[in-house]
A = this chain, B = another copy of it.
Amino acid sequence: MTIEKIVLESFSKQGFMKHLGAKIISIDEGLVKVSCIKSDNLTQQNGFFHAGVITTIADAACGYAALTTMPIGSDVLSIEFKTNLMKPAISENLIAIGKVIKSGRTLVFCEAKIMDEKEETIFATFQGTMICKQPT
A: residues with CB less than 8 A from B are 10-11, 13-16, 18-19, 39-46, 50-53, 55-57, 59-60, 75, 77-87, 101-102, 106-107, 109, 111, 122, 125, 127, 129, 131
Closest 3 CB pairs of A and B: A52-B56, A16-B50, A82-B82
Q: Chain A interface mostly helix, strand, loop or mixed?
A: mixed
A122 engages B107 (CB within 8 Å) = no
* B residues less than 8 Å from A125 (CB atoms): 101, 109, 111, 127
22 pairs, A vs B, C-beta closer than 8 Å: A10-B45, A13-B43, A16-B42, A19-B19, A45-B75, A46-B75, A51-B56, A51-B78, A51-B81, A52-B53, A52-B55, A52-B59, A53-B56, A55-B55, A56-B56, A80-B80, A80-B84, A81-B82, A84-B109, A86-B102, A127-B127, A129-B129
Task: Please pick, from B13, B43, B56, the residue contacting A55 in the complex, using a CB distance under 8 A.
Answer: B56
A19 engages B41 (CB within 8 Å) = yes
* B residues less than 8 Å from A13 (CB atoms): 43-46
